[in-house]
């Protein structure tokens, strides 16, 4: 009993230990969970309509299928029922920091209208939230500088949503498309023209000299074969 009391006193005096849980924020050396809500119903919900488990991966490998993107979630859209309870397993596949944030939630239940998961590197977190009944499309993204702009953006639709958000990789058109300009110089233009000419000339050369090429290959094969006997 004495040891337990001493332990509780140490926890109370240790600022690192007491900082682990501040109301709606839980944090440790791995990452952070903000505004998790596993049991409180929104005002417009009578009961939970579905209990849905979702695993979301974040990392560079998920962006390989999108031209010009560096980071992405493994999915870019989820559809849930009104008043659904979503149990999210957030997995960071990279060695750098990533976030999963859902915006536009009711502020009386989710401070700042936000649900937030964050991992400082490779690992995973689990937390739940209950969606309102409103037919709406919610933004899901990483708020770290340039992560969303480089592809880490998705949308969560309740009851089919109220439309699509712009710039969702693979789903919707960007507000401002990326441009990849080529700095043309006399040298690069010369290489381009030469490559085009060679690309056109080589097939004609092969067709015009098909018999000679055939004879040469036969002689070469026979020479190699005779040496190996």
| pLDDT tens digits along 119-144 | 999 999 999 999 999 999 999 999 99
Is it the case that residue 14 has pLDDT exceeding 90?
Answer: no
The gap from C-alpha 36 to its chain's centroid, in whole angstroms, comes to 21
Considering only CA atoms, which of 94, 101, 226, 93 is closest in space to residue 156? 101
Rounded Cα distance between 142 and 103, Å, is: 11
The gap from C-alpha 205 to its chain's centroid, in whole angstroms, comes to 49
| Contact residues for 87 (Cβ-Cβ < 8 A; gap 6+) | 51, 52, 53, 54, 126, 127, 128
pLDDT recorded at residue 144 = 92
Rounded to the nearest integer, the mean pLDDT of the chain is 86
In a domain, residue 5? The reply is no
In a domain, residue 99? The reply is yes
132 and 195: one domain? no
145 and 190: one domain? no
Rounded Cα distance between 57 and 75, Å, is: 8
- Structural domain for 190, as ranges: 186-227
pLDDT recorded at residue 163 = 95
- Exposed, middle or buried by CB within 10 Å (0-12, 13-18, 19+), for 156? buried
């Amino acid at each position: 009993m004495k040891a337990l009391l001493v332990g509780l006193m140490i926890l109370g005096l240790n600022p690192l230990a007491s900082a682990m849980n501040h109301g709606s924020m839980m944090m440790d050396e791995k990452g952070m969970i903000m505004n998790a809500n596993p049991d409180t119903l929104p005002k417009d919900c009578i009961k939970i309509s579905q209990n849905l488990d979702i695993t979301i991966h974040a990392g560079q490998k998920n962006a390989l299928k999108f031209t010009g993107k560096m980071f992405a979630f493994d999915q870019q859209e989820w559809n849930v029922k009104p008043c659904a309870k979503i149990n999210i397993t957030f997995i960071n596949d990279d060695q750098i920091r990533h976030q999963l944030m859902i915006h536009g939630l009711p502020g009386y239940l989710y401070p700042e209208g936000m649900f937030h998961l964050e991992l400082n590197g490779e690992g995973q977190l689990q937390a739940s939230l209950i969606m309102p009944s409103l037919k709406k499309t919610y933004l899901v993204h990483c708020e770290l500088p340039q992560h969303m702009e480089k592809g880490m953006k998705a949308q969560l639709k309740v009851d089919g949503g109220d439309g699509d958000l712009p710039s969702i990789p693979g789903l919707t058109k960007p507000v401002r498309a990326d441009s990849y300009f080529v700095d043309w110089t006399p040298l690069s233009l010369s290489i381009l023209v030469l490559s085009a000419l060679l690309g056109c000339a080589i097939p004609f050369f092969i067709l015009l000299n098909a018999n000679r090429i055939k004879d040469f290959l036969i002689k070469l094969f026979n020479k190699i074969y005779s040496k190996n006997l």
